[in-house]
Structure 1
Amino acid sequence: MHLLLIEDDLALRTALQRSLVRAAMRVDVCGDGALALEAWQTLQPDVVLLDLSLPGKDGLDILQQARKAGLHTPVLILTARGTVGDRILGLNAGADDYLPKPFDLDELEARVRALHRRRTSPAAREESPEQGAVGALRYDRDSGAIYHQHQVLDLTPRELALMGALMARPGHAVAKERLFEVVFPGETQVQYEAIEVVVYRLRKKLVATGVTLMTLRGLGYLLKASA
């Protein structure tokens, strides 16, 4: 597994790099917010560990720019900003998980591996067509992006996994339990209701596309294009 650690604290950065390397991970590091996005685009890591308080550019700004640039890498935020409001800001900006400092190294490793499993899970790959379309939306598995009128939709990895599963069966409902397997593979501590949070965010992003994410009571979720 290839990680990019974006952290300006040299002592913490060194300690985390050593710990994760001992866990059989390849770890590249960046300590300057102004250089972080370029490093991300160049290295194309499997998971990004992102501090929010960085010199040169704030971590949230980096994350938002990365998502707008079509970078769908899973992101785990590491920060001393531990309030609920800060967590919501990070998740809304496109983060996939949030670990407040100080944290346990074993928990960090477990969360990193969970993010990586979700990205590479067979369930997610099976549900994702090489190319699929619903209305004006098109999913391209090669690039890992969903397009609306030739523009890449700004989606988090969880949102992208859910969309891929739905677009694999256009016109058919997909059960919440199946979507959970695709979006949260191996995450036994996550409740099924977490899918509803991902659905809520997706609905807001789909408003301008002419595609509706519908809830079919007792059946699951369905993508439907406007007539």
Structure 2
Amino acid sequence: MVSAAPPQVLVVDDDAGIRAVLERGLGLEGFAVAAVADGTSALEAFAEGAPDAVVLDVGLPDINGRAVCARLRARGIATPILVLSARDQVDDRIAGLEAGADDYLVKPFVLEELAARLRALLRRGTGAAPATPAPEVVRAGELVVDLAAHVATWEGADLGLTRRELELLEALARNAGIVLERRRLLELVWGYDFETDTNVVDVFVSYVRRKLDRIGAPALIHTVRGVGFVLRVP
């Protein structure tokens, strides 16, 4: 029996020490790692073949992480991207997520946490289809989420969602009227079936709310304090 090839991870960080730690650490965790020091090299690496996942520092010396992420998404590349940032790089981190990154970790971080998140994102991106596929078009009032077309609309107006925003809205719309805990949303949208200290659900909910508001949609996503979120159709 031929064993599966290890997942290919591209590490993009201008700090040589971090690159060395991640190359060794992720290698021991079962990943095949390539590392580059700047955004230009990261984009060039994709020209040679897309990796399975990317660990991307937002504070790069040439093309920042947001621009790298935006250019990859503009090419139609759906590779999971996890951004890294220093604690004082909040604006850059948010910009990276808005440009299409899937999650973030703040430096310093625990290597095991990074590896676990990468595995979950990879499972979410390449998991086998369920025996009974869920409907690809989800409707909740005037909200339509079309997974096949990768688009969500309100009264026919395109919300312009990123892939992860679309998946979050789909999970909420499919369970309209049901309060979903943050932990459950992490499972459904990010594939995280383990405890993790992240506010990524809240961040992405704020992005989706902003885009709904931009096209004049009513307040659809409501916060249930201490629990999670629910989508209610007025």
How high is the TM-score relative to the length of structure 1?
A: 0.68
Post-superposition CA distance 1:20-51 (Å, at most 9, x none):
22222233333331242353476343321002
**Amino-acid identity (%):** 34
Name the one with the larger helix percent.
1
Aligned to 1:188: 195
Shift in alpha-carbon separation, 1:30–1:194, aligned structure 2, 3 A = closer
Shift in alpha-carbon separation, 1:122–1:76, aligned structure 2, 3 A = same
Aligned to 1:206: 212
Q: What is the CA–CA distance in structure 2 between the aligned matches of 1:102 and 1:64, rounded to whole Å? A: 25
The answer (yes or no) to whether the contact 2:152–2:160 under 8 Å persists in 1 is yes
Shift in alpha-carbon separation, 1:161–1:46, aligned structure 2, 3 A = farther
The answer (yes or no) to whether the contact 2:9–2:54 under 8 Å persists in 1 is yes
Matched, 1:64 2:70: yes
Post-superposition CA distance 1:145-171 (Å, at most 9, x none):
3266797934152x23212324546xx
The answer (yes or no) to whether the contact 1:78–1:100 under 8 Å persists in 2 is yes
Computed over aligned residues only, the root mean square deviation of the Cα atoms, in angstroms, reads 4.1
Aligned to 1:175: 179
The answer (yes or no) to whether the contact 2:152–2:158 under 8 Å persists in 1 is yes
Q: Which consecutive unaligned segments of at least 5 residues does structure 1 have?
A: none
Runs of at least 4 residues off by over 6 Å: 121-127, 149-152, 216-219
Q: What is the CA–CA distance in structure 2 between the aligned matches of 1:74 and 1:85, rounded to whole Å? A: 20
Post-superposition CA distance 1:28-81 (Å, at most 9, x none):
3333312423534763433210022334311122123334444443322224x3
Question: Which one of the candidate residues 156, 159, 162 is aligned to 1:155?
Answer: 162
The answer (yes or no) to whether the contact 2:172–2:180 under 8 Å persists in 1 is no
Mapping of residues 61-210 of structure 1, within 5 Å: 61-79=67-85, 81-83=86-88, 85-86=90-91, 87-119=93-125, 129-132=135-138, 135=142, 137-141=144-148, 145-146=150-151, 153-155=160-162, 157=164, 159-168=165-174, 172-177=176-181, 179-184=185-190, 185-190=192-197, 195-208=201-214
1:182 Cα deviation from its structure 2 partner:
0.9
Shift in alpha-carbon separation, 1:84–1:220, aligned structure 2, 3 A = same
- Count how many residue pairs are aligned between Structure 1 and Structure 2: 217
What SS does structure 2 have at the residue aligned with 1:43? coil
1:119 Cα deviation from its structure 2 partner:
4.1
Q: What is the CA–CA distance in structure 1 between the aligned matches of 2:76 and 2:211, rounded to whole Å? A: 15
Question: Which one of the candidate residues 45, 49, 61 is aligned to 1:43?
Answer: 49
Q: Which consecutive unaligned segments of at least 5 residues does structure 2 have?
A: 1-6
Aligned to 2:3: none
Post-superposition CA distance 1:91-142 (Å, at most 9, x none):
444433333444443333233234334545689998853345665855234x
Shift in alpha-carbon separation, 1:222–1:195, aligned structure 2, 3 A = farther
1:208 Cα deviation from its structure 2 partner:
4.8
Question: Which one of the candidate residues 9, 12, 17 is aligned to 1:6?
Answer: 12
